[in-house]
Every structure is written in C-alpha cells, then in structure tokens.
Structure 1
C-alpha cells in the first residue's frame, strides 16, 4: 500500500563538579547523566476521583505517582489525561513541568462496559519534563487532528540539556482501532493521519536536531512488513532512517497482547545513542492502574 506524502511544511525546528560537602541535585546533575525518555498511556486519567471510564480513588492516584517516579525518567510522554490538574496527580508538579496540547477537546458520550453511566472525559496528550531540564515549546502538530477536535494533536518540544545535543520530541496519540492491516473500521482515519506524521518526520529529519517520537501509536509497528512502518522508515531524508526501540521485544504488560502499540521511535542520529529499552510492568497480582504499562529508553550522553 502506498500513501501520498505531504510536502514537509516549514516547522519550527527551531560532569557535575566534585564537592567536599553534600549538595542538593541541580540542573547540571540531570544534564550530565544519560537522558531517559518514557511514555505511558494513563487510561482516562480524570481530574476528580470517580470520574471517567476508569474511575479511581486517592490510593490509585498515589500508586500511579509511585510508578511514574520509579521510572526515574527525565521526560515522560503521557496520553489520556483530562487536563493539567489530572496529570499533576500522577506527575508531582514539584518535580516535573507539565506541558499539554492546547486542543480543547470535550467529553464525548458514555463509557459503556463496566461503567455505562460514566462520561468519556477529554483525552489529551502531554509531557512531564523533569524540573531543571530546559526545553523549548513549539506549536502543536494540529495536522494530526484532520480538522476533528476529538482527534489528538501532537505536542512538540526540544530538550536542551547542558551537556548533550538538543533533542526534539513529539508526543502523539493516534486513532485507535487499526492495529494491523487496513480493513478495520478505524483504518481510514489512521491512514489519513499517517502522511501528516510523515511530513513532520521528514521536516525534522532535514533539520539540525536529533529527534524521538513517543506515545500511543495504536499500531503494531513491530509486525513483519507493516506498510505504515515502511512508509515512514524510508531513509528519505537520510535521518528518517528510523529505529523502532521495541523491535524484537514482546510486551509482558498484558498476556492478551504479543506486540506493542506504544512506541518510542528514534531518528538515525538519536538511535546512535540508544543504550536500552525497558517496559515497566505491574507486580504479579497488583492492580493494573492503566490498561497500558510504561515503556522507556535510555540515551547515552
């Protein structure tokens, strides 16, 4: 299957010192270590207890915050958060700066299933960036919305660590339901989002900064001969020779699934620094606080 490529639009591409006494960690400490990037779909993370299609209690939010802090990540791309207040219940605002898409979105319909009386909350994309790590915010990638306010835009930032090259990050959450092939009901929408995503990739690959795309792609990119992966991993431009960081790894979060739909994808430049991929799983018998588990990559400094 071939896809029409959009012309790449003009996008804004735009060692700790030894000390004789203990001191509190500062920005230089975070910059000197490897950069760890994570992604976690939070499954209808609501601002209020009991709201949304996965109603939660205080203890649920506290457990999710422990998981987030246990990632020890510099940046966490997240999906399905209602707003910044909801995100702050998982990502301590004293430790993270929260950045979310500006798309307004809105609740839509009822949940069905176990919670037929609950309302579907706004599902938004964002980043939690560790305090002290400087970054620039770019315009949201609204082309992924296809003119539909209920589809998510991309959140676009550039990290500027003091002792490493800048790293551009795009956080995404694509249309669900077209996990493989092209025949599913949701596939026409995902296939229409794909050229918009490729346009961003090609423009970023032509720019000066290495980059990563993180989030819920809702696509099993690791399946053999996936045409959508082949479309973006075409090496044109040269830095669009991409690395699927979970390639060859089977997820263990949920035994029903044998292939990831959450991915962290690196361009050729960022891939040269890849030092590892990991999935954080719930403990045996532990409640699954989201229907996704966090994934993470480490990039050498």
Structure 2
C-alpha cells in the first residue's frame, strides 16, 4: 500500500502530538503552596489584622491566581475563616485539631486576637489518604501551633506533606545556644520535627515540609538548617528549595517561609517554579506572600 505524505497533515499531527504530551504533563504535575494569611478571621473587623469585605475579595482572587492544588495555611482562626477565602464547594479543608488558646490584646488595633492555627486546603479531585495531627508541637507552650501531616495519592504515588508554623522570635544563628524564651520553645519544636522526620524513609519516599519556620533556613551558617540537612549522614536526604530567594516583605528580605524536600521529591521539582507571589497592591494582604513549587511526578 502506498502511503501519501502531506506536509500540512504532518504538521497537524505534530501539533496534536505536542498538545497531547503537554496535557499529559499537566495532568501529572502537582502545584503546592504555603501561605501565612496573617490572623485570618471569620468576620469583618475582627482580630489583629481587621479586614473588610473588599480585602477578603482580594484574598480570594490572589488565592485563585496561585493555581495551586494544595495550600498549607498558617494563622487561620477557624474553619469559617478559611472558607471565606477557600469555598468548601471547591476545596477539602483540614483544620488543626488544637483547642482554642486564650486571646490577647493586639498591639496595633487593641482588639482581641483570633486563633492562629494551621490548615490544609486541597482540591476536591485529590485523594487524601491520611491526616496526622502532630499535637506535640503545641505542647511546647500555651498557644503554640501544632503541625499537620497530610498524605495524598497523586498519580499512584504516596506524597507526604507536613505543614508547620514554628515559634516566632528566635531569629538567631544557633537556636541551641540561645537563652531567649522564644528559642527555648523553638528548640523543643525543632527537636520534635527532627525526631519525626528521622523515623521516615526520606531516601525513598516523597516528603515536603513547608510552612512558616520563623527561621532563616536559607543561610548556610544557620544551625537548624545544618541539623535538618544532616538527619542522615549517608545520603543527602533533604534539600531546602528556598535557597537564594528573597521574601516579598520590604523590611525583611530573608525568607522564613520554606519548602524542605526529600531527595525523591527534589528530583521531581521544577526549580524555576519555586518563588514568592507578590501582591499587586502596595498594601500587602498579609505580612507573608505565598510560596509555590511545582512537581512533575
């Protein structure tokens, strides 16, 4: 049988093949974000970052622009607060199990503070396989945040995500030698995180630890960075994806929001996808910008 080759048909076939490959690649990618929403409250005019309706509208638009499949949130007051930005019709919401802690008077506006908890929002299409609330992080001090370990299935692979919000105020090179009260709490949380990760198979499994570390992990001399990277001396099992990045806050260029990856997940990471998403308005919607990373599994 004689096969007739037509140049236009050949070009069309190549375009269709490229489009198919692109769609397959997009289907396998997983886009993850971390965002400290700064005292996100359920009601207008409440808490240390009192917002109005327009502010919540802008936060919803910003969240949509991230185009993320999963977002680790910090400083959310309640399920109702999360739903103001991430509608339950579109997202699975996993809230911290920590009981409410006593409120305090906000420095700026003298209002009563809302709760500061961590949460995950996950697209409805993603299968959640397990949730582990790490209450030990909250045991360090009244009001301290617990962490959430989320397990999902993506393209038949088991992905572990750990959302943390560690104690603020311990901005030192060596947290182990500091006598600051904030560092005493931070040390307990840091040691528990290392213990928890040490029990995992970081050499083979997909692990992503993300959130507000309240620490300058991107600095080579940082002791906590060194401790995390030396969890296994036989292999480089962890990698800090936020090296060489600057935060979006004009006063604090050194980032404290980070993504820490196990080796298998690092190999799936698109390096150029790791960045902070600046706000369009000079009036920041939160004192943290969202951090994203995309993984092609």
Answer yes or no: same fold by TM over 0.5. Answer: yes
| Residues 1:244 and 2:237 are matched in the alignment | no
Q: How many residues align?
A: 269
Task: Return the alpha-carbon distance in structure 2 between the equivalents of residues 136 and 85 of structure 1.
Answer: 24
Q: Does the residue aligned with 1:37 lie in a helix, a strand or coil?
A: strand
Superposition deviation, residue 121 in structure 1: 1.0
Which residue of structure 1 aligns with residue 222 of structure 2? 226
Q: Deviation per CA, 1:214-240, whole angstroms, max 9, x where unpaired? A: 110000101121111111111517676
Which residue of structure 2 aligns with residue 103 of structure 1? 98
Q: Does the residue aligned with 1:160 lie in a helix, a strand or coil?
A: strand
| Residues 1:86 and 2:78 are matched in the alignment | no
Q: Does the residue aligned with 1:65 lie in a helix, a strand or coil?
A: helix
Q: Does the residue aligned with 1:259 lie in a helix, a strand or coil?
A: coil
Deviates more, 1:180-189 or 1:241-250: 180-189
After TM superposition, the structure 1 = structure 2 runs for residues 161-180 of structure 1, keeping only pairs within 5 Å, are: 161=154, 163-180=155-172
Greater strand fraction, Structure 1 or Structure 2: 2
Which residue of structure 2 aligns with residue 124 of structure 1? 117
Q: Does the residue aligned with 1:269 lie in a helix, a strand or coil?
A: helix
Rg comparison, structure with higher value = 2
Which residue of structure 1 aligns with residue 276 of structure 2? 279
Do the aligned partners of 2:92 and 2:124 also contact (CA within 8 Å) in 1?
A: yes
Which residue of structure 2 aligns with residue 216 of structure 1? 212
After TM superposition, the structure 1 = structure 2 runs for residues 260-275 of structure 1, keeping only pairs within 5 Å, are: 260-275=255-270
Do the aligned partners of 1:79 and 1:215 also contact (CA within 8 Å) in 2?
A: yes
Q: Deviation per CA, 1:168-217, whole angstroms, max 9, x where unpaired? A: 01111000001223434411110121110001111223586311011100
Task: Return the alpha-carbon distance in structure 1 between the equivalents of residues 202 and 135 of structure 2.
Answer: 20
Greater helix fraction, Structure 1 or Structure 2: 2
Task: Return the alpha-carbon distance in structure 1 between the equivalents of residues 234 and 78 of structure 2.
Answer: 37
| Residues 1:58 and 2:53 are matched in the alignment | yes
Structure 1 unaligned regions, length at least 5:
1-27
Q: Does the residue aligned with 2:133 lie in a helix, a strand or coil?
A: coil
Q: Deviation per CA, 1:81-118, whole angstroms, max 9, x where unpaired? A: 01111001111222211101111122421002x202x0
Do the aligned partners of 2:134 and 2:148 also contact (CA within 8 Å) in 1?
A: yes
Which residue of structure 2 aligns with residue 139 of structure 1? 132
* Greater relative contact order (CA < 8 Å, ≥ 6 in sequence): 1
Task: Return the alpha-carbon distance in structure 1 between the equivalents of residues 25 and 88 of structure 2.
Answer: 17
Do the aligned partners of 2:130 and 2:151 also contact (CA within 8 Å) in 1?
A: yes
Which residue of structure 1 aligns with residue 285 of structure 2? 289
Q: Does the residue aligned with 1:204 lie in a helix, a strand or coil?
A: coil
Do the aligned partners of 2:238 and 2:261 also contact (CA within 8 Å) in 1?
A: yes
So what's the TM-score if we normalise by structure 1?
A: 0.84
RMSD: 2.1
Task: Return the alpha-carbon distance in structure 1 between the equivalents of residues 131 and 233 of structure 2.
Answer: 22
Superposition deviation, residue 136 in structure 1: 2.0
| Residues 1:194 and 2:187 are matched in the alignment | no
Structure 2 unaligned regions, length at least 5:
1-22
Do the aligned partners of 1:206 and 1:237 also contact (CA within 8 Å) in 2?
A: no
Task: Return the alpha-carbon distance in structure 1 between the equivalents of residues 164 and 113 of structure 2.
Answer: 19
